Every structure is written in structure tokens, then in C-alpha cells.
Amino acid sequence: MQTKFKKSYRFAVRTSVYITLYTTLLMGVFFYYFTELKWFALLWYAICVFCFTFVIIQFSVERFIYKRVKKIYDDLTLLESANMSNGPITTNMQTLTEEIDKFARDKKLEIETLKVREEYRREFLGNVSHELKTPLFTVQGYVLTLLDGGINDINIREKYLERASKGIERLGYIINDLDMITKLEVGDLSLNIEVFDIVELAKHTFEMFEMKANKKKITFTFDRDYSEPIMVRADKERIQQVLANLIVNSIKYGRLKGTTEISIENLIKNKVIVRVTDNGEGISKIHMPRLFERFYRVDKSGSRKEGGSGLGLSIVKHIIEAHRERIYVESEFGVGSEFSFTLEKVQ
């Protein structure tokens, strides 16, 4: 705590003026009735009284107040208030009140933020535990069955080993996705920026999931015929991952014989916006604010029939933000969803 303090002279000046006016008026009356009134002497008397009273008030009374105000600052310093401890101590009651109010507001905001983070931490750990526990228990069950004699039956052996392999594969997805999100958040994942045709990349991504879409008879389409390439500057592999995650989601939650459509439009001179639209289940408004959180699921039933790590949209958000771009979502429950993101366009 600094020992210097910001003084407030207003009280001392005002009080000294009152005392000076009173005593000078008293002395003026005395001189008028009992001796010869001398204005010059009266003026000097007023100046001397003002200076004397100002010094007494400023260096006596204010030091008395300062000791008590300093204790307030020391108590606040125990709470690690950087703003209060680094600044000079003030004995101005209005300034002190404003600083205390600001300190209280900052602490309240800090406490609320910590509560939100703590709640998120508990929910996140619970989600991670659930996501890892499900495939682990599945693999453990199949392995124990094989150890208990099932390995001697060739049919059971092959079937259970295949299922155990899928469980391990799911664990791998979760761990890899968590690792990627962590790197994206701390800025440790370098982007390989290059120029490529976003139309060609979208077509290739469609082809990757054509068989998966055919199971639900979902049609992949573009909003129009793109005869000319649209060149963008970004990390091609990561943008393909973004498109893949959005397309997979549109298949998971798409309706039977539905559609998944991609459109690419000019946003401004050097930006394009890529839209992935489906006519599936849609998303209720209550889920929209938390849609991109890790492991957050719109379906609270806990069903994992669609697979995946539960981190797809969170990865999408972090990849787009790593490119310093924006991602948007519009959805109406029972009608469908549209995810869109911007990219830098190459003229």
C-alpha cells in the first residue's frame, strides 16, 4: 500500500473561509466601536486567520480522517483489489464512495463469472466422464465375455472383437477431438493457409458421406449450378472438417428422404458466406445459446445411437474463429437448421 494520499482541500478551504469571515467580522465590529477602523490591518488579519485555520484543519483533521480511511484500503487490499491497492489513498468521501462502489461491482461480476465457470467445469467433467465411460464399459464387457470363454466360439469372437474395436475407435475420436479443441483454444494449432476452390471442396465432402446419406435417403444438393470456381484463402483440411461435421449433423438429425443443401454467396467484396441447410428436426430456441459448447446435446435422453464424440459443433466454432471468421446458426424446431460461416475470398 502506498503511503502517499490524495488530499481533499475543499473541506479545509470552506471551513477556513467560514472561520475567517466570522472572526474578521467580529474584529471589524470591535475596531469600529472601540478603536479606529483600519481596513488594511483588517485584511491582513483575515489572511493570517485563513492561513492558520487552513493549516490546522488540513494537517490535523485530515490526518485524523486519513488514518481511518487507510484502514479501509488495507482491509480491501486483503481481498486483493489491484485497483484499490495500486492507487493513491484519497480522503475525499465522494471519491472514496465511488471507488468502493466500483470495487463492489467488480467483485460481484468476478464472483458471478467464477460461479458460471464452476458450473461449466462440473458439467464439462460430468460430460467427459459420461462420454468416456460409455465406450470403456462397452469394450470391457466384450473383453470380459471373451475371457470367460466366448473366445472359443469363432462367431462370438469375431462379433465381439469388432464391437470392441468400434468402442476403442469412439474413444479415439473423443480424445483426438478434445486435443484439437485444446490446441485451438490456446492457439497452439497452426493453420496451413492456402488458396483453394470452396465449391470443389464442398462437392468432395458430399461424396465422402454419400453412402451415409443414402441410408436415410437424404439428397445432397447445391442451391444452384456453380460452373465457375470460387477461390478462398483458408486451411483447406480444417475447412473440410467444418463442412464434414455440419453435413454429418444434417444427416444425423435429418428427416427420412430429406435434403442437405450447400450455398455459397458473396457477402462483401472480399468475403463469402457458406451455408449448410437441412430440413431436419430443427433446434429449439432454448438450446441455441449453448449449441457450440463441448458435449452439449440438444437431445437430453442421453441416446448415443448416432455415435460421434459430441464435440463436432464445438470444433467447428473453434476452427472458424481460428481463421478470424464468424459462424452463424438459424433454426426452427420441426422445420430445419442452417449453419453458415464466412471465409476470405480471393479475387
Count of other CB atoms within 10 angstroms of residue 160: 20
How many residues would you count in the chain?
347
CA 347 – CA 333 distance, rounded (Å):
38
* pLDDT interval class at 304 (50, 70, 90): very low
Most confident of 94-98, 285-289, 318-322: 318-322
- Give the model's pLDDT for residue 82: 46
Judged by phi (left if over 0) then psi (alpha if -120 to 50, else beta), residue 197 lies in: beta
pLDDT bin (cut points 50, 70, 90) of residue 344 is very high
Residue 235 φ/ψ region, left for φ over 0, alpha for ψ in the -120 to 50 degree band, beta for the rest: beta
**Three-state SS string across the chain, please?**
CCCCEECCCHHHHHHHHHHHHHHHHHHHHHHHHHCCCCHHHHHHHHHHHHHHHHHHHHHHHHHHHHHHHHHHHHHHHCCCCHHHHHCCEECCHHHHHHHHHHHHHHHHHHHHHHHHHHHHHHHHHHHHHHHHHHHHHHHHHHHHHHHCCHHHCHHHHHHHHHHHHHHHHHHHHHHHHHHHHHHHHHCCCCCCEEEEEHHHHHHHHHHHCHHHHHCCCCEEEECCCCCCCCEEEEEHHHHHHHHHHHHHHHHHCCCCCCEEEEEEEEEECCEEEEEEEECCCCCCHHHHHHCCCCCCCCCCCCCCCCCCCCCHHHHHHHHHHHCCCCEEEEEECCCEEEEEEEEEECC
* pLDDT computed for residue 133 by the predictor: 77
Of residues 184 and 50, more confidence is placed in 50
Radius of gyration of the chain (CA): 37
Question: How many of the other CB atoms lie within 10 Å of CB of 5?
Answer: 18
- Distance, in Å, from the CA atom of 189 to the CA atom of 181, rounded to the nearest integer, reads 9
Average pLDDT over residues 326-335: 89
Contact indicator for 69, 89 with CB cutoff of 8 Å: yes
What is the mean predicted confidence (pLDDT) over 129-150?
A: 79
Residue 3 has what pLDDT? 44
Tell me the mean pLDDT in the region 149-166. 81
pTM reported for the whole predicted model: 0.58
Q: Is the pLDDT of residue 68 over 70?
A: no
Residue 197 pLDDT exceeds 90: yes
C-alpha 105, offset from chain centre: 19
CB atoms within 10 A of CB 314: 23
Going by C-beta distance under 8 Å and a sequence separation of 6 or more, which residues neighbour residue 99? Answer: 83, 84, 87, 90
For residue 2, the model assigns a pLDDT of: 45
Q: Please determine, for residue 107, whether its predicted confidence score (pLDDT) is greater than 50.
A: yes
How far is the C-alpha of 225 from the C-alpha of 161, rounded, in Å? 46
pLDDT at 204: 93
- pLDDT score of 308 more than 50: yes
Query: What are the tens digits of pLDDT across the range 20-54?
Result: 887 877 777 776 666 666 677 778 778 888 888 87
Cβ contact 189:180 at 8 Å: yes
pLDDT greater than 80 at residue 293: no
Residue 87's pLDDT is: 53
Residue 5, pLDDT above cutoff 50: no
pLDDT of residue 132: 75
Percentage, residues of the chain above pLDDT 90 = 20
Taking a C-beta distance cutoff of 8 angstroms, is the pair 51, 24 a contact? no
Instruction: Average the pLDDT over 117-122 and give the result.
Output: 71
Mean of pLDDT over the chain: 78
pLDDT at residue 272 above 50?
A: yes
